[in-house]
A and B are shown apart, each in its own frame.
Chain A
């Protein structure tokens, strides 16, 4: 399987107080259409990743809003899988081309989160957890990931400093990324001294509340050269599910859905983990990145902290992770994140990542998680 990416576009991620969901989606969409060198009328379908516009801004029916705003009457569908909505939208766009139904499709992800106050956002996000068995008892996502972090510390001796290193690295990368919400370098001490959110996670362990949108234009392999000399291809896609509630899982420190999705993606791409040159992983909390690097096979289970100590995941390291700045520094507009991860990989593989550009990157991976791991989706990209 192989599907080409013709164009990418993103808004600035952050507190976009002066832009609504519609404006964000259209800004990213038109940027991607222009980047692809196509016309709007060349599109055959639209797939929009969006988690909770109904609760965040009271707007459902988001895909039709996007197609209408673009002046198109083509099929438009919204895909929802909590924070993995963007990754799932990409997968649906991919399938629509592989099935032969469409030639060129737009895959977007958008979320407008700052219209609500923090408590409203927190309870909306908890819609990604189990309402009856988690939310009802007062659990929120920071506390779920705090439990995961505690268990990881207990089982493998992972330290607070190692978690802080994720934030420090991703803030550094974010400082090089013009769309990032946070563009300041931070220190381990700042992370450890920041206000406690859910022990052991402090404020700087957590990704922020963000407005933003990202878009990709996908195209049938045979047509790609007509539009671009520099296509990036999607060569593997895997998705898996797990129980909604964290306490029903086999393990607290392995996201089985990630392991399963990545195996399928590697198989489709015909590669092994050693072939991966860079990855954008789901660091909604710093512990999330540590576990992702283990579950994707970048290191052995329990050695995610060591990987950070070695500097292996930094730009220039053995396996750079979250060169964009990740969810931590770029921000996490939940429905847009999965698409933004793919945008970063495309920029890196095209050689357009400016100050954060890696040398000779050929194969990249994105890893997008919904909830505390009930959905995971992995894509593999190559030049």
Chain B
């Protein structure tokens, strides 16, 4: 069965606290923190972008997989902050990690779910017998307009997954998607910051798709809530995944290991994937994880992932994502502005 051969995450060191941003705009930090359930967010350094973050995550995944990188036949990188409008991030990463030249590559964009779409694409190529291993990455340095509500959460991070059939640390039992034309969040070409539909991003967008895809997956695989030991939903803030868990009758405690949003914010294409990384870091063999991403525009990809015995040995090979979360340095709003906007 197709599964995960190696995984790795990366989170930039810098953090900015909600209090620091709120103080600039004269907003009430306490009520923002209560509302979003986010304490601080990660901030990329001046020389970090989606490509460098992807490389860091991919090197971790390779280190865990212990495969010859040249056996990777496909690289898909999902992001809404690719450094170039035209010129792929995926070839930069392929070159950097030593994949050689015999591989197919493309950048994907589907708001915050472009990374999980990449996982589905490599699954298809592996299942079709076209490639042996495939690398799918979700990575972002998310943009937010100064003063916008998004500024408290738009963060940076990346997660990489090498999929294959041999020596898998977790089997991907199945996947199910739901996609509709729903304009809840967008950024047009040549526009610096995304716009969003405020409360429209909730019920008709995030919740509708997360719930439809999750229910669809459970129906397809004939699984019920109690069959899953952990759940990970896309985390635009802390409140949405908790509410989605409640709406789907899941015990919200199953979200806890993957609940990275509180300390790093919403890392967009890598948000749910970093939640999966954090959950894989603690899961035991035989346990089952539900992963449902969400991308505005809009759609969700849901996966059922069952951990194998190999996880214990393989995950020792790299740092835990919690180490990245704990290794941090706070920046002021002034420094944040310099890092993000190059003043």
In-complex Cβ contact of B203 among A17, A118, A195 (8 A):
A17
- Total number of residue pairs linking A and B with CB closer than 8 Å: 19
Which residue of chain A has the shortest Cβ distance to B196 in the bound complex? A117
- Complex contacts, B104 vs chain A, CB 8 Å: none
Quick check: A15 and B27 within 8 Å, CB to CB?
no
Return B100 CB to nearest CB of chain A, in Å: 48
A195 touches B198 (CB 8 A): no
Q: Which residue of B lies closest to A15 (CB)?
A: B199
| Residues on the B chain within 8 Å of A193, using CB | 31
A17 near B204 with CB under 8 A, answer: yes
Interface pair A17/B200, CB less than 8 Å apart:
yes
Does B204 contact A195, Cβ atoms closer than 8 Å?
A: no
Decide if A15 touches B31 in the complex (CB within 8 Å). no
B contact residues vs A (CB 8 Å cutoff): 27-28, 31, 195, 197-200, 203-204
Nearest 9 CB-CB pairs, A to B? Answer: A17-B204, A118-B198, A117-B198, A195-B31, A117-B197, A195-B28, A15-B199, A193-B31, A17-B200
Q: Mark A13-47, 1 if CB is under 8 A from B, else 0.
A: 00101100000000000000000000000000000
A18 to B205 alpha-carbon distance, docked (Å): 12
- With contact pairs A117-B197, A117-B198 given, residues A15 and B203 touching in the complex (Cβ less than 8 Å): yes
Contact present for B31 and A18 (CB under 8 Å): no
Interface size grouping (class) on chain A: 10 to 19
- Nearest chain-A residue to B182 (Cβ)? A17
Taking a contact as CB atoms closer than 8 A, the residue among A18, A117, A194, A196 that contacts B204 in the complex is: A18
Are the C-beta atoms of B28 and A114 separated by less than 8 Å? no
By a CB distance below 8 angstroms, the chain B residues around A196 are 28
Residue of B nearest to A118 (CB): B198
17 extra A-B contacts, CB within 8 A, seeds A17-B200, A118-B198: A15-B199, A15-B200, A15-B203, A17-B203, A17-B204, A18-B204, A114-B199, A114-B200, A117-B195, A117-B197, A117-B198, A193-B31, A194-B31, A195-B27, A195-B28, A195-B31, A196-B28
CB of B69 to closest CB in A, whole Å: 46
> What residues of chain B lie closer than 8 Å to A114, measured between beta carbons?
199-200
Q: Which residues of A contact B204 (CB under 8 A)?
A: 17-18
Q: Which residues of B contact A117 (CB under 8 A)?
A: 195, 197-198
Give A305 to B195 CA distance when docked, in angstroms: 41
Bound Cα distance from A322 to B106, whole angstroms? 59
Nearest A residue (CB) for B204: A17
> Whose C-beta in chain A lies nearest to the C-beta of B208?
A17
Question: Looking at A17, A18, A195, A196, which has the most chain B CB atoms within 10 Å of its CB?
Answer: A17
CA of A196 to CA of B198, assembled, Å: 18
Taking CB atoms, residues of chain A closer than 8 Å to B198 are 117-118
Chain A's closest residue to B30 (CB) is: A193
Q: Show 14 A/B contacts (Cβ-Cβ < 8 Å), sorted by A.
A: A15-B199, A15-B203, A17-B200, A17-B204, A18-B204, A114-B199, A114-B200, A117-B195, A117-B197, A117-B198, A118-B198, A194-B31, A195-B27, A196-B28
Within A175-231, which residues are at the interface with B (CB < 8 Å)? 193-196
Closest Cβ of chain B: how far from A159's Cβ, in Å? 21
Chain B contacts for A195, CB-based, 8 A: 27-28, 31
Q: How far, in angstroms, from A15 to B197 measured CA to CA in the complex?
A: 12
